[in-house]
Amino acid sequence: MDNAWWRSAVIYQVYVRSFADGNGDGTGDLAGVRARLRYLADLGVDALWFSPWYPSPMADGGYDVADYRDIDPAYGTLDQAEQLIAEAKELGLRTIVDIVPNHVSDQHAWFRAALDAAPGSPARQRFWFRPGRGPGGAEPPNDWSSIFGGSAWTRTKNADGTPGEWYLHLFAPEQPDLNWTHPLVWHEHEQILRFWFDRGAAGVRIDSAGLLAKHADLPDVDPAHAPGQHVHTDRDEVHDIYRSWRRLADGYPEPRALIGEIWLPDLERLARYLRPGELHTVFNFDFLACPWEPARLRESIERSLHFHERVDAPATWVLSNHDVTRPVTRYGRADTSFAFETKRAGTASDLVLGERRARAAALLMLALPGSAYIYQGEELGLPEVEDLAPERIQDPMHFRSGGVDPGRDGSRVPVPWSGAAPPYGFSPDGATGDTWLPQPTTWAGLTVEAQQRDPASTLRLYRAALRIRKARPALGEGALTWLDAPPDVLAFRRGDDIACVVNLSAEPVGLPAHEEVLLASADLDDGRLGPDAAVWLRLPTTDKGWSTR
């Protein structure tokens, strides 16, 4: 068994609520996932990452966890989760579970006990409770802002109804932050890791992994802070947590993988999480957020590989997830980059152009050294759903921004499987209720069923790419060598005889000498690669065509 499988794996993100509905209530569940495991195995991925499936009030799509050792009843039972992990393993699919260590739900037993306890009590010390500033403590304890907008503090009420202390939440008020200086918080999370590892989970994805450590004095934000000294992001002491987790993960016969979600623009700081004895991989958000521009993409790839090589860790490549505008929509805009701060409703997108670029981006991503992530529906070329009725929107990012941010629900609309009208096979035949988020009436051509019949479909492109990648180990971990290429064209060699060429120019371009076209994101025109297209080539073993540099 390959104990370093995660170095070159292709991992598929399952957002259970929107993947497949097994019981007909309009919400995805574990029964639906189990019924579709063969689809995932046939797609050609190596592992499944499940977004939180725990009991949750759903104030933030399941990232407000009430109990880390159970399954939300809307999704099924713990027994079903264990069966799913075992059945997936039989099909060659490892399971990665989502851990949310920065905060819990306000319905978690710990926080309910803290609210019932007096200021200064042991129950409150597992969180960040503080008196307010100003007359009567009416102002928050500091100037920290929530990532979802507004203050990062909410005031409690005392038993007699009078205003009480404030508590910290870097996300929604329903997600109180844990105090990682408390030994019980450390112990609890180590036990949670063991709970899932003992049930067969091959690894964990760590949500908001750079936020756990806070400045003990909770001072106001200092814009001139030194690296590692921000009041709540990427503090140096957070690494002690992951060194402890790594020792635990390495204690299993097949070491478990630790995968961090860390949004940091400084790749040198990001690489610190990958030093020996810490995390195995982290998400590469620099690549995800990069615009569809040749110089920027090449710079992102080169910088990513450079910093990962320094710590002997594989780079990861990702185009989207449950928080991010889908590539088909994003790449069809004038600004093809991604940033939460600039998301706005009503931004125009050319979906035909976006689809062409997204297909090319998929071949680029899957040809790069390291591991890759596919978010459910990406393999179908689903666009972002941007016309959800206001009363159907559930994402707190939308509400806490005062409606300025359209929210993330548009990337979470249920997957279309078959048929010509909603729910497109997402729910079983005979289901009468709506899906939890409405599906567009224009998705009949995007269903799995329709795309399986179409040789030119995005689904068929992904299946072919993953089949080739699995058959040719040089497309996984290993070196990348850039090739001389025309302006605005990215071209590189993997191994001795495979090249990836991506044309980001406005005109068709010729290709280097090659023996075979392995796969192309768009039809070639008289042997030339059109704009916004990518191709994988088998090169001659003696003549490399374009010179290397």
For the record, the structure tokens of 329 come out as 């929509």
Q: Where are the beta strands (DSSP E) in 343-476?
A: 371-375
Residue pair 68/195 in contact (Cβ under 8 Å)? The answer is: yes
Cβ burial of 272 (10 Å; 0-12, 13-18, 19+) is buried
Q: Specify whether the CB–CB gap between 47 and 97 falls below 8 A.
A: no
CB within 8 Å of 2: residues ≥ 6 apart: none
Residue pair 444/450 in contact by the 8 Å Cβ criterion: yes
Strand partners, 59: none
Is residue 72 part of the annotated active site? The answer reads no
Task: Say how many C-beta atoms besides its own lie within 10 A of residue 116's C-beta.
Answer: 11
List 21, 261, 355, 379, catalytic entry: 261
- Cβ atoms < 10 Å from Cβ of 160: 6
- Separation between Cα atoms, residue 400 and residue 420, nearest integer Å: 36
User: How far from the centroid of its chain's Cα atoms is residue 344's Cα?
Assistant: 21
Sign of CA dihedral 176, 263, 8, 381: positive
Interacting residues of 426 by C-beta distance below 8 A, sequence separation 6+: 20, 21, 28, 414, 415, 416, 417, 435, 439
Tokens describing residue 307: 């910093």
Tokens of 337: 């980059």
Residues 350, 450 contacting (CB under 8 angstroms) = no
Query: Sign of torsion, CA 259 263 266 267?
Result: positive
Count CB atoms within 10 A of the CB of residue 95: 22
Write the single-letter amino acid at 346: G
CB contact burial 473-496 (16+ within 10 A = b; e otherwise) = ebbbeeebeebebeebbbbbbbbe
CB atoms within 10 A of CB 149: 16
207 part of the active site? yes
Closest CA to 415 of 2, 27, 5, 7: 27
Q: What is the dihedral of CA 343, 348, 352, 358, to 10 degrees?
A: -20
Instruction: At 417, list the tokens.
Output: 């499987």
Query: Order of strands across the sheet with 498-503?
Result: 480-482, 489-494, 498-503, 533-538, 516-520
Pairing of strands 281-282, 129-130: unpaired
Q: Active-site residue among 207, 378, 384, 395?
A: 207
Measured distance CA(502)–CA(360) in Å, rounded:
7
Which sequence positions are flagged as catalytic? 207, 261
